[in-house]
Amino acid sequence: MRRTTEGRRDEPQGTLWWHDAVFYQVYVRSFADFNGDGVGDLEGLRTRLGYLELLGVDALWLTPFYPSPMADHGYDIADPREVDPTYGSLGDFDALVADAHSRDIKITIDLVPNHTSNTHEWFRSAMAAAPGSAERERYLFRDGKGESGQEPPNNWVSAFGGPAWTRVPDGQWYLHLFAPQQPDLNWVNPEVRADFERTLRFWLDRGVDGFRIDVAHGMAKPPGLPDMDPRVSALSSGDYGDPRFDNDGVHEIHQLIRKVLDEYPQTMAVGEIWVADELRLARYLRPDELHLAFNFRLVLTHFDADALRTTIDRSLAVPMATGAPATWTLANHDVWRQVSRYGGGAQGVRRARAMAVVELALPGAVYLYNGEELGLANVDMPAEAMADPRARTSGPEYGRDVSRVPLPWEGDEPPFGFSRTTRTWLPMPAEWAPLTVEKQLEDETSTLSLYRRAVELRQKHPAFSGDELEWYGAPAGCFAFRRKAGGLVCALNTSASPITLPPGEVLLSSSPLEDGKLPPDAAAWLV
Ligand code: NOJ
């Protein structure tokens, strides 16, 4: 039932469009290239909105499209209130919003409050100014340790690997939790807060429906910037106890953001929050903070029914404690594609299809990552082809470009209608020929057809209503849950043998049934 389930306790029922929405993450660089430079752009996305309407998604999340030297593909922003010429213009953005709205698709965009680019005018003027100046106070400049300040102010490491501090010519150091080209802002400074508020209003006034807040657990730093426990690794950001993230001061910043959003009815914010502890995570969802918090548990759980059941139960503890909707995601631009995580090949695809059926059965908001609906896997690429800063600092095995390759739309060879040039920003594999949107739309058994049917059923069928689940007993390696109010049953088989399904009419299955049984690596819906 589209948009008619319960809302937050303090809101009237049935008014919150995001409560059970299907969001679709558009990695703008890789979605569709209109101007032929090999990089996706806003106009390319606009020309493909018909596809997204067909897929049936409720809302888009656009990755950053702001002016940027692209040290971290746009998460290093030089001006948060403009469009990078690579991606188009503000006029293109306005046209995109208008067109999407006319198709009943909401637009949400990425904001990056934790840091700017080192080419942002604020950072340039901080570099030109003296230690202790107002210009430096917008960032986290500190004197170093040691006799001549030759050692960094503390032992923090960057989430991309390597030290979190870089020294400038006059001897001071500045903090960057990510790449050196992404200096962290000083959120204690009222100017930083005021500027972010301006950015929120700038885009809200242009009609956006919401935001994805990057590193939403990162903006507040602990007083005195104490050393971190050296056992915390660079790449395991977000653990409770890591002084770089999830400091209590961050909540006041979310309250500030929420105050602005509350002035714009029906707008929302979702936080990227790598915090494992459910009680800590729930704090971000208090009624005066974020509307949604990403929950990465499904990304981190392997294909095993018991482990997945625990993940689902733990994830549901957060909405139960807060009244905010659950959120689910199997992939994004920072992690391996699920087909590869589940072992790759035909089995990886079967498992990924099964997990899409599980995910889309769950109550709450679902975030899909562009290309997962085509069953795409990671793309092997030589280290030289990788542009991700994490590949350089932590090693090619940590490079995220493998899941960011441009999408295959049509035709039999690269660039598959993504662009007019074959020189796409990341090379596209010839093996994707059978996986184009064009081919999959024509094939009822394709992964795209499965996603289309699943999204449509989820939105229209009354069996999907209500927020609570109950579990059935199931054979080893399997699970079955039921949406309590609507009655939808979802069964998953991660065992090696076919299983008998619970009673009911089969609405959908991720793989064909075998003699009426659910085969291994498959999931089904029943009513
Ligand atoms: C999270 C983003 O998803 C990731 O791509 C980026 O590198 C970091 N935040 C830093 O902004």
393 lies in some domain: no
Count of beta carbons in the 10 Å neighbourhood of residue 331: 25
Alpha-carbon Rg for the chain, nearest whole angstrom, is: 23
Same domain for 444 and 481?
A: no
Backbone angles phi, psi at 474, to 5 degrees: -150, 155
User: What is the spatial distance between Cα 126 and Cα 351, in angstroms, rounded to a whole number?
Assistant: 50
CA of 199 to the centre of ligand 1 (A): 19
Same domain for 256 and 356?
A: yes
> What average pLDDT does the segment 125-140 reach?
98
Strands 210-213, 141-142: pairing is unpaired
Say if residue 437's pLDDT is above 90: yes
> What average pLDDT does the segment 167-190 reach?
98
CA of 15 to the centre of ligand 1 (A): 31
Residue 389 alpha carbon, nearest atom of ligand 1: 7
473 lies in some domain: yes
Same domain for 495 and 448?
A: no
Count of beta carbons in the 10 Å neighbourhood of residue 410: 12
Could you read off the pLDDT of 402-421 as tens digits, one per residue?
999 999 999 999 999 999 99
> What average pLDDT does the segment 190-218 reach?
98
Say if residue 100's pLDDT is above 60: yes
Positions of E strands within 221-345 = 268-271, 292-293, 327-329
DSSP letter for each residue of 463-502:
GG-SS-EEEEP--TTEEEEEETTT--EEEEE-SSS-EEPP
Q: Distances from the Cα of 339 to the Cαs of 97, 302, 374, 399, in angstroms?
A: 32, 12, 10, 17
The confidence band for 238, taking pLDDT boundaries of 50, 70 and 90, is very low
User: What is the spatial distance between Cα 174 and Cα 54, in angstroms, rounded to a whole number?
Assistant: 47
19 lies in some domain: yes
Q: Distances from the Cα of 437 to the Cαs of 40, 48, 75, in angstroms?
A: 16, 11, 28
Average pLDDT, the chain: 94
Same domain for 350 and 238?
A: yes
Q: Distances from the Cα of 329 to the Cαs of 209, 235, 326, 402, 466, in angstroms?
A: 20, 20, 10, 18, 19
CA angle (294, 300, 306) in 5-degree steps: 110
Say if residue 479's pLDDT is above 70: yes
Catalytic: 288? no
pLDDT at 507: 98
Same domain for 440 and 336?
A: yes
User: What is the spatial distance between Cα 392 and Cα 283, in angstroms, rounded to a whole number?
Assistant: 35
Catalytic entry in 143, 191, 263, 514: 263
Catalytic entry in 214, 242, 388, 521: 214
CA angle (252, 199, 235) in 5-degree steps: 60
* Helix or strand run (H / E) with residue 125: helix 121-128
143 lies in some domain: no
* Helix or strand run (H / E) with residue 61: strand 59-62
The confidence band for 56, taking pLDDT boundaries of 50, 70 and 90, is very high
CA of 272 to the centre of ligand 1 (A): 9
Same domain for 449 and 498?
A: no
168 lies in some domain: no
**DSSP H helices in 360-402:** 389-394
pLDDT at 7: 34
> What average pLDDT does the segment 209-230 reach?
95
User: What is the spatial distance between Cα 258 and Cα 277, in angstroms, rounded to a whole number?
Assistant: 23
Say if residue 91's pLDDT is above 90: yes
CA angle (278, 283, 284) in 5-degree steps: 105
Give the residue carrying structure tokens 């998604």: 57
397 lies in some domain: no
> What average pLDDT does the segment 381-406 reach?
89
**DSSP H helices in 323-410:** 338-341, 345-359, 389-394
Same domain for 349 and 249?
A: yes
What percent of the chain is modeled with pLDDT above 90?
89
Same domain for 105 and 197?
A: yes
Give the residue carrying structure tokens 């426990």: 229
Are 118 and 72 contacting, i.e. CB atoms less than 8 angstroms apart? no
Same domain for 246 and 308?
A: yes
Catalytic: 214? yes
Same domain for 442 and 514?
A: no
pLDDT at 391: 86
Query: For residue 206, with 0-12 CB atoms within 10 Å meaning exposed, 13-18 middle and 19 or more buried, which class applies?
Result: middle
Q: What per-residue string of b and e applies to 332-343 under the rule 16 or more CB within 10 Å gives b?
A: bbbbbbbbbbbb
Report the CATH number at residue 492: 2.60.40.1180
Ranges 13-17, 129-133, 212-216, 383-387: which has the least confidence: 13-17
Q: Which two tokens stand for residue 433?
A: 């020929």
Q: Which two tokens stand for residue 26?
A: 């558009």
Say if residue 129's pLDDT is above 70: yes
Same domain for 490 and 345?
A: no
Same domain for 227 and 340?
A: yes
User: What is the spatial distance between Cα 97 and Cα 107, in angstroms, rounded to a whole number?
Assistant: 7
Say if residue 235's pLDDT is above 80: no
Backbone angles phi, psi at 247, to 5 degrees: -85, 150
Structural domain count of the chain:
2
Partners of residue 163 on adjacent β-strands: 157
Pick from 112, 178, 237 the residue to mutate for probing ligand 1's pocket: most ligand atoms within 8 Å of its CB: 178
Are 441 and 427 contacting, i.e. CB atoms less than 8 angstroms apart? no
pLDDT at 458: 98
Say if residue 230's pLDDT is above 90: no
Report the CATH number at residue 256: 3.20.20.80
Closest CA to ligand 1's atom 6: 75
109 lies in some domain: yes
> What average pLDDT does the segment 463-489 reach?
97
> What average pLDDT does the segment 267-274 reach?
97
CA of 75 to the centre of ligand 1 (A): 6
121 lies in some domain: no
* Nearest residue to 480 (alpha-carbon basis) of 251, 326, 308: 308
pLDDT at 510: 98
The confidence band for 233, taking pLDDT boundaries of 50, 70 and 90, is low
Q: Which domain holds residue 472?
A: 468-526
Q: Which two tokens stand for residue 261?
A: 């959003």
The confidence band for 237, taking pLDDT boundaries of 50, 70 and 90, is very low
Are 172 and 144 contacting, i.e. CB atoms less than 8 angstroms apart? yes
Say if residue 75's pLDDT is above 90: yes
User: What is the spatial distance between Cα 217 and Cα 250, in angstroms, rounded to a whole number?
Assistant: 7
- Residues having CB closer than 6 A to ligand 1 are 72, 75, 112, 178, 214-215, 272, 333-334
> What average pLDDT does the segment 105-118 reach?
98
- Kindly give, in sequence order, each residue whose CB lies less than 8 Å from that of residue 74, ignoring residues fewer than 6 positions away: 28, 29, 63, 64, 65, 66, 68, 84
Look up residue 124 and give its amino acid: R
The confidence band for 354, taking pLDDT boundaries of 50, 70 and 90, is very high
More confident residue, 242 or 6: 242
